């Protein structure tokens, strides 16, 4: 009889899932007095039972085998829970028991052909069990306003967003309600994530994480969100937090520079060769200020900065920026429609008001038509425009302390990049 290697692999994956969760439960059992249910052997066997019952159900085409096995395992788990906690007055937990049923089901899912889903879920299950204390600490640090903000964001994302049309609704094909509302969600989410990161990780680490990850999507949105976040700063650490926020904004700007160079290099190498000297100067200046402000933030603020911060989440503020963004998109589309040749530099400048990804793609396509110098000049205009707009957002919305940090940095970055542009 030939051995089915796929079945062998699936059994091995199921056993690995049981071992992964079982090792964590074994450690928990040895560290917690009174806990006797569920070690590494138990969880490996549970995964094996799930895999075997699923395999038999498939082999003889009867789902009842897996269903009966699930009911049997559930009964054993429930009995173990009752026996373990009989006569105890302590708070009863179901973590190990739920984990046992989860491992059984994941073992079955592997055999039913869902290994690509079951393995990540097993890793996630192990992570949730392992990081018990950090998760509890995170929940303890969140105030009721934080939870309300999160619910609002979920409503905006999973209820409002799907109801919006995902196509342009104007004659110039510029305004897509779905994408505009997605921008509103992004700005609101970055504001909330930045705030939570600072509460949990501290000012410097929190803004570093939020700035780098947010910069992968939109450095403009990060600038707006952090500017508003700075208004929530109070207390003796306000100056130190302003350094951390400035560093976070600059990290996002640095990611934007790297993103532009990567996109240009991947799409059309001659475009990268025309861009990199100027963009490299912009990136190096940004990196220098980001490192300097991060260091000042470390020395100027305590690692625990949750008390001086208030939740800055505001959907309305994000909607206002979304409306401005829509006007910019409309003006850009009108310029492209009525003055496509004469308005290239104007279009690039206006496009940079919002962000640079779209104009980077457009100019790279133009460069491939033997117009590299023209495309590079237009893209640099967009980068300079974007820098000016982000600085203006910070200046108009940020606290006095953050303005004092960002204005010198933005001025040096802009003038340095401008000088490199003309000298190269």
* Averaged pLDDT of the chain: 84
Q: Are residues 104 and 47 in contact, defined by beta-carbon separation less than 8 angstroms? A: yes
Query: Residue 51: phi, psi to the nearest 5?
Result: -70, -45
Q: What is the pLDDT of residue 306?
A: 42
What one-character-per-residue DSSP string does 277-294 give? HHHHHHHHHHHHHHHHHH
With beta carbons less than 8 A apart as the criterion, state whether 106 and 116 touch.
no
Task: Look up residue 159 and give its DSSP letter.
Answer: I
Q: Which of 228-237, 265-274, 353-362 has the highest mean pLDDT?
A: 265-274
C-beta neighbour count of 327 within 10 angstroms = 13
Res. 278: pLDDT tops 70:
yes
CA distances from 136 to 38, 119, 239 (A): 22, 25, 30
- Given this model, what pLDDT does residue 386 score? 93
Query: Alpha-carbon distance 310 to 241, whole Å?
Result: 13
Q: Which residues contact 282 (CB under 8 A, 6 or more apart)?
A: 257, 383, 387, 413, 416, 417, 420
- 75 Rama sector, left if φ>0, alpha if ψ -120 to 50, beta otherwise: alpha
pLDDT band at residue 341 under the 50/70/90 scheme: low
pLDDT score of 235: 58
pLDDT at 392: 94
214-250, pLDDT tens digit by residue? 888 888 889 988 998 888 776 556 777 889 999 999 9
Q: What is the pLDDT of residue 237?
A: 64
Q: Which two tokens stand for residue 121?
A: 């879920």
Q: What is the pLDDT of residue 2?
A: 59
Q: What is the pLDDT of residue 93?
A: 61
Measured CA to CA, the distance from residue 208 to residue 210 in angstroms comes to: 6
200: pLDDT strictly greater than 50: yes
Q: How many CB atoms lie within 10 A of CB 65?
A: 18
What is the C-alpha separation between 16 and 69, in angstroms, rounded? 20
Query: What pLDDT is attached to residue 339?
Result: 65
HSE of 267, CA atoms in CB hemisphere, 13 A: 19
pLDDT grade for 3, boundaries at 50, 70 and 90: low
Nearest-CA neighbor of 150 among 93, 206, 188? 188
DSSP annotation of 370 reads T
Residue 308 has pLDDT above 50, yes or no: no
Q: What are the Cα distances from residue 184, in Å, to 153, 212, 221?
A: 10, 19, 9
| Axis-axis angle for helices 344-354, 372-397 (nearest 10) | 40
User: Residue 312 pLDDT more than 70?
Assistant: no
The radius of gyration computed from the CA coordinates of the chain, to the nearest angstrom, equals 27
Confidence of residue 205 (pLDDT cuts 50, 70, 90): confident
pLDDT per residue as tens digits for the range 136-169: 776 776 667 777 888 888 899 999 999 999 998 9
Six-digit token pair at 27?
Answer: 């450690």
Torsion angle, CA of 161/163/169/175, rounded to 10 degrees? -10
Distance separating alpha carbons of residues 313 and 196, to the nearest angstrom: 11
How much is the pTM?
0.69
Residue 204 has pLDDT above 90, yes or no: no
Q: What is the mean pLDDT of residues 335-362?
A: 76
3-state helix vs strand vs coil in the chain, percent to 5: 80, 0, 20
What are the structure tokens assigned to 422, written together?
């003309």
In this predicted structure, the answer to whether residue 281 has a pLDDT above a threshold of 60 is yes
**56-90: pLDDT as tens digits:** 998 888 888 899 898 988 888 888 777 766 655 44
The DSSP code for 173 is: S
Out of 5-19, 31-45, 99-113, 404-418, which region has the weakest mean confidence (pLDDT)?
A: 31-45
> 131-135, 257-261, 359-363, 391-395: lowest mean pLDDT where?
131-135
């Amino acid at each position: 009889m030939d051995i089915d290697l796929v079945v062998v692999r699936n059994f091995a994956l199921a056993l690995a899932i049981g071992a992964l969760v079982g090792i964590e439960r074994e450690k928990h059992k040895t560290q917690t007095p009174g806990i006797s249910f569920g070690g590494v052997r138990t969880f490996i066997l549970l995964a094996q039972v799930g895999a075997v019952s699923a395999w038999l159900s498939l082999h003889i085409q009867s789902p009842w085998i897996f269903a009966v096995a699930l009911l049997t395992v559930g009964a054993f788990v429930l009995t173990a829970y009752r026996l373990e906690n009989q006569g105890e007055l302590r708070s009863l937990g179901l973590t190990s028991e739920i984990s046992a049923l989860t491992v059984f089901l994941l073992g079955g899912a592997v055999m039913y052909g869902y290994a690509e889903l079951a393995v990540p879920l097993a890793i996630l299950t192990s992570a949730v069990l392992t990081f018990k204390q950090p998760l509890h600490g995170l929940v303890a640090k969140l105030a009721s306003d934080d939870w309300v903000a999160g619910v609002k964001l979920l409503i905006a994302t999973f209820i409002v967003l799907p109801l919006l049309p995902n196509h342009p609704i104007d004659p110039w094909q510029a305004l897509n309600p779905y994408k505009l509302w997605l921008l509103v969600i992004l700005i609101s989410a970055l504001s909330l994530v930045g705030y939570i990161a600072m509460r949990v990780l501290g000012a410097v680490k929190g803004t570093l994480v939020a700035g780098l990850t947010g910069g992968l999507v939109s450095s403009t949105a990060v600038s707006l969100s952090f500017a508003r976040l700075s208004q929530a700063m109070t207390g003796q650490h306000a100056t130190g937090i302003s350094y951390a926020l400035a560093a976070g904004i600059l990290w996002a700007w640095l990611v934007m520079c790297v993103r532009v160079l990567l996109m240009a290099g991947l799409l059309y190498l001659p475009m990268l060769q025309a861009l990199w000297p100027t963009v490299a100067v912009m990136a190096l200046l940004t990196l220098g200020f980001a490192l300097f402000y991060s260091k000042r933030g470390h020395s100027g603020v305590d690692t625990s900065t949750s008390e001086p911060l208030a939740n800055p989440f505001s959907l309305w503020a994000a909607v206002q920026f979304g409306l401005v963004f829509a006007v910019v998109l409309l003006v850009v589309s009108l310029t492209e429609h009525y003055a496509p040749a004469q308005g290239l530099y104007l279009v690039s400048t206006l496009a940079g008001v919002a962000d640079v990804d779209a104009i980077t793609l457009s100019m790279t396509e133009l460069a491939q038509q033997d117009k590299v110098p023209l495309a590079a000049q237009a893209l640099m205009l967009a980068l300079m425009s974007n820098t000016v707009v982000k600085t203006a957002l910070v200046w108009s919305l940020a606290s006095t302390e953050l303005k004092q940090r960002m204005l010198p940095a933005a001025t040096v970055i802009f003038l340095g990049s401008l000088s490199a542009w003309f000298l190269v």
